[in-house]
Structure 1
């Protein structure tokens, strides 16, 4: 009977180690998936930003000159 108890204990300990090793592997896999998702999201954000910049550039047309600054002195009236 003592032999079965020690064998059962060893079996339980072995199963526990296998489960823990499996959890560790699952955690590593999940981390890799999250890292890949973060990289993909970053690429999408960069591409969206580039597309928005291009659309804005296209909407404005060729570069316009800056409007001239009005001279405050020219706005005053002489009496």
Structure 2
């Protein structure tokens, strides 16, 4: 009968170790998820900046091209008039 308290103590100790291990695993998993979320946010921010830059470049180039096209058209018209 003296084994009952000893067995209960062992079961309790194992339960506590299991819970402590689960808490550590949960903390590690949370850290991994936080890092993944941070990396994803950084990738989204960089993609957004690149898209804005590409849009800005395209808008800037488009205006310049239209002006050059207009100038070329005016030169062609004046050449035809002569």
- Structure 1 length as normaliser, TM-score? 0.77
1:14 corresponds, among 8, 12, 17, to 17
Aligned to 1:45: 48
RMSD: 1.2
- Secondary structure, counterpart of 2:8 in structure 1: helix
CA distance, structure 1, for counterparts of residue 7 and residue 62 of structure 2 = 81
Structure 1: 5+ residue stretches without partners: 65-79
CA distance, structure 2, for counterparts of residue 55 and residue 4 of structure 1 = 75
Structure 1 residue 57 corresponds to structure 2 residue 60: yes
Aligned to 1:27: 30
What count of residue pairs does the alignment treat as equivalent? 63
CA distance, structure 1, for counterparts of residue 34 and residue 41 of structure 2 = 10
- Structure 2 length as normaliser, TM-score? 0.74
